[in-house]
């Protein structure tokens, strides 16, 4: 009887374990360059993964001029981080490659919305979001009316990334937080062939008619700072 009481007590304690909301930053984001008014679309998000996380929320919101992602985790406050071997609630243990769904954007005529997201502390920001997290503009999305022939298949992209050189000697863009052979994009127009440190880049991803460096999907660099 005592054993069953003890197990029941443990179950009750587990069920009452407190949780907290812990915000994180977007290290990389890409999204359709053009969308149809009123039609939801997906945005790829790469965010810092928090120790003890039990649930992720992209934190998407829309106003009259912008789509903003302020992602956060639902987290156990008493989580034990295996890397630090101590109780913690803020340690980053990796990255999560996921998606955020944007509700259909309204437009009475073709127009653009800014795409914004919580960024690193050192990033220039237009405003402060929840808990004072810096909000940075990553780029724009164009909203068109109905099945518009002007819709393109390319995806705008922005975030922290660094250059790597592959076995063919070609420069590739590697978004921070993505690893493995399929995590990089051939840079169509590299402006610097010697610097490999991370930087905040903006550009777009699209397919070429003829492969470049053995890959038909490339990253076209627009800016780097």
This prediction's pTM: 0.81
pLDDT, residue 82, reads 55
The pLDDT tens digits for 15-70 are 556 778 888 999 999 999 999 999 999 999 999 887 777 789 999 999 999 999 99
Average pLDDT over residues 88-117: 84
DSSP string, the chain: -HHHHHHHHHHHHHHT--EEEEE--EEEEEEESEEETT--EEEEEEEEEETTEEEEE--EEE-SSEEEE--EEEEETTPEETTTTEE-SS-EEEEEEEEEEEPPPP-SSSEEEEEEEE--TTS--SEE-GGG-EEEEEEEEEEESSS-TT--S-EEEEEEEEEEE-TTS-EEEEETT--STTS-EEESS-S-SS--S-EEEEEEEEEEEEEETTEEEEEEEEEE-
């Amino acid at each position: 009887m005592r054993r069953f009481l003890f197990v029941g007590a443990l179950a009750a304690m587990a069920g009452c374990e407190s949780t907290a909301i812990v915000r994180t930053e977007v290290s990389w984001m890409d999204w359709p360059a053009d969308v149809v008014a009123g039609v939801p679309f997906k945005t790829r998000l790469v965010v810092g993964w928090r120790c003890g996380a039990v649930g992720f929320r992209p934190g998407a919101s829309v106003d009259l001029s912008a789509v903003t992602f302020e992602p956060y985790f639902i987290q156990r406050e008493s989580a034990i981080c295996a890397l630090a071997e101590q109780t913690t609630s803020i340690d980053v243990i990796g990255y999560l490659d996921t998606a955020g769904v944007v509700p259909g954007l309204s437009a009475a005529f073709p127009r653009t919305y800014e795409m914004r997201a919580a960024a690193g502390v050192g990033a220039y920001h237009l405003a402060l979001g929840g808990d004072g997290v810096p909000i940075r503009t990553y780029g724009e999305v164009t909203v068109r009316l109905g099945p518009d022939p002007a819709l393109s298949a390319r995806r705008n992209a922005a975030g922290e990334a660094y250059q790597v050189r592959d076995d063919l000697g070609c420069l590739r863009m590697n978004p921070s937080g993505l690893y493995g052979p399929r995590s990089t994009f051939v840079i169509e127009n590299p402006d610097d062939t010697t610097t490999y440190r991370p930087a905040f880049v903006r550009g777009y991803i699209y397919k070429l008619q003829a492969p470049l460096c053995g890959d038909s999907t490339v990253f076209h660099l627009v800016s780097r700072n």
